[in-house]
Amino acid sequence: MKMHYGAPIIVGLVIFIGALCAPFVVGTAVTKTYKQPELKMPANEKECVESKEFMREKHMQLLNDWRDWALRDGKRTYTNHAGKEFTISLQNTCMKCHVSKADFCDKCHLDAGVSPYCWDCHVQPEGLK
């Protein structure tokens, strides 16, 4: 049996499979050369609200909880796992230690390809222009 349009079909298939695999190939290359962003850490503080690992992985959930606790439950004091208390506030707690959004939050988020919409309302420590 002869294949109709064999050549174009095979060429098409090759292009298709190539396009399908390209992200993995490029991705592996990028991963090899990827460097963790250099974050500007708070100068006078040693510890975050929670452990570094927790913050790195779960700061978005924490912020979500914070906002519901503060606004919906009216509870604005947070006790961390070590028993230390923090006032719940994005602008007045997080950003009082992490005094630069650009050199901290954004550095990671740029790499991760997320752009939290929080700053449409919340005022970053650098101020607005």
Partner 1 sequence: MKNNRRSFIKLAGIAAAGLALAPKAMASGGGAAPVKVNATAIHAAHWAMVVDTTKLNTAEGIEKLAHVCHAIHNVPTIPNKQNEKWLWGAPYDEAFPEQENPHLSESVHTREYPLLCNHCVNPPCVRVCPTKATYQRPDGIVAMDYHRCIGCRYCMAGCPYGSRSFNWGEPRDYLDLKKLNAEYPTRMRGVVEKCNFCVERLAIGKLPACVEASEGALIFGDLNDPDSDVRKVLRERFTIRRKPTAGTEPSVYYII
Sites of contact with partner 1 (CB under 8 A) = 65, 67, 69-81, 87-88, 91-92, 117, 120-123, 125, 127-129
For residue 39, the partner it binds in ligand HEC, partner 1, none, with Cβ less than 5 to 8 A by kind, is ligand HEC
User: Under a CB-based contact definition with an 8 Å cutoff, are residues 121 and 102 in contact?
Assistant: no
- CA distances for 81 relative to 38, 49, 50, 73, angstroms: 27, 9, 7, 20
Kindly identify the residues of this chain, within the stretch 43-62, that bind ligand HEC according to CB under 6 A.
45-49, 52, 55-56, 59-60, 62
Stretch near ligand HEC under the rule CB under 6 A, chosen from 3-11, 19-27, 96-104: 96-104
Q: Tell me: does residue 114 bind ligand HEC (CB under 6 A).
A: yes
- The DSSP secondary structure of 4-38, one letter per residue, reads TTHHHHHHHHHHHHHHHHHHHHHHHHHHHH-----
For residue 93, the partner it binds in partner 1, ligand HEC, none, with Cβ less than 5 to 8 A by kind, is ligand HEC
- As a whole number of Å, the CA-based R_g of the chain is 23
Tell me how many degrees the CA angle 45-107-120 measures, rounded to the nearest 5: 95
Q: SS3 for 87?
A: strand
Which residue, 80 or 109, is less far from partner 1 as judged by CB? 80
Kindly identify the residues of this chain, within the stretch 60-79, that bind ligand HEC according to CB under 6 A.
60, 62-63, 66-67, 70-71
Q: Tell me: does residue 108 bind ligand HEC (CB under 6 A).
A: yes
